[in-house]
Every structure is written in C-alpha cells, then in structure tokens.
Structure 1
Amino acid sequence: MAKKTPSLATVALKKSNTPVAAVPSVSSNEDKPTEQRKGQTLRLSIGAWKQLKHLATDLGKPVHDLLIEAVNDLFSKYGKPPIA
C-alpha cells in the first residue's frame, strides 16, 4: 500500500504549532459569510479553457469568480435566483 502524503494543513501545523481552527479559510468572496460548499468538476475543450483563462486575465478576476458569475447567469436565465 502506498504511503499517504500529509495534507498541507498537517505540514503547516507541524511548522507553526497553530491549531487548525485558528487558520482562516480562504475565499474569493470576502464579503460573504463562510458557508458550506460542494464542488463540481467542469471539463472544457482546450480552446474554451484557454479563452476562459485569457478572459480572467483581461478582467483581472479569478477564473472561479467568472464561473460563479456564469452559474448565476444560468440560474437567472431559467427564472431561478442567482445564489451561487
């Protein structure tokens, strides 16, 4: 059986002796309170992926923020509240 690699949090704890609860979570939406989230994988063609990366660079925004914006636009299109 392969040896499990330690998580980044475990390595940080060993270096700083800081409890995990004291390490703040990182979020691209600083104005929103921390909430539970679920992940979803999106697979794009190489061209679409490059275009998305270029758009993010041009706008100076993280790709994640653009994808959240796109999901909210999709919700609005189908008459749902933009809650992503």
Structure 2
Amino acid sequence: MYNLLIIIQIISAIVIIASVLMQPSKMDGFTNFVSGTTDTFFSRNKSKTRESMLAKVTIVFSIIFALVVIAQNLPTFVQK
C-alpha cells in the first residue's frame, strides 16, 4: 500500500510540474492595465480554453498530492 502511495505521489508531482510549466505567463495583464483592455473571444470564454483546463488539472492533482502526503504520514500520527 505504501509503495502505491509513493507511485501516485510521484505521478501527481510530475503532472503538477508539467501543468504549471505549460500555463501561459500573466505578465501581459500589466500591459493591458496601462493601455486599456481588449475584449476578445478567449477572454469572454475562459472556461473553455486550454488555460482554464490546465488550471483545473493543477488544482485536482494538487489536492491528490496533498491527500497522498497526509495518507502516508497518518500512521505516524496514530502511533503517538
């Protein structure tokens, strides 16, 4: 069981790293602040874009990672 948790933790860590690195930079937000915003199709439909999908994947795998870490350390808390 412990080995399965370690494998899940490694896979979720790799997915988190990849999804964070694939997300676009937020630096262009400051240029829109100075020059004004442009309303595009993608800015109105953010829930269907690749960026929102990567954000959701990051959140889900972060929760999985946290739960696995808690599950791995649970026996040490119970013994005390």
Q: By the TM > 0.5 criterion, same fold?
A: no
Q: Which has the higher contact order (CA 8 A, sep 6+)?
A: 2
Greater share of helix: 2
Larger radius of gyration: 2
**TM-score normalized by the length of structure 1:** 0.24
Give the TM-score taking structure 2 as reference length. Answer: 0.25
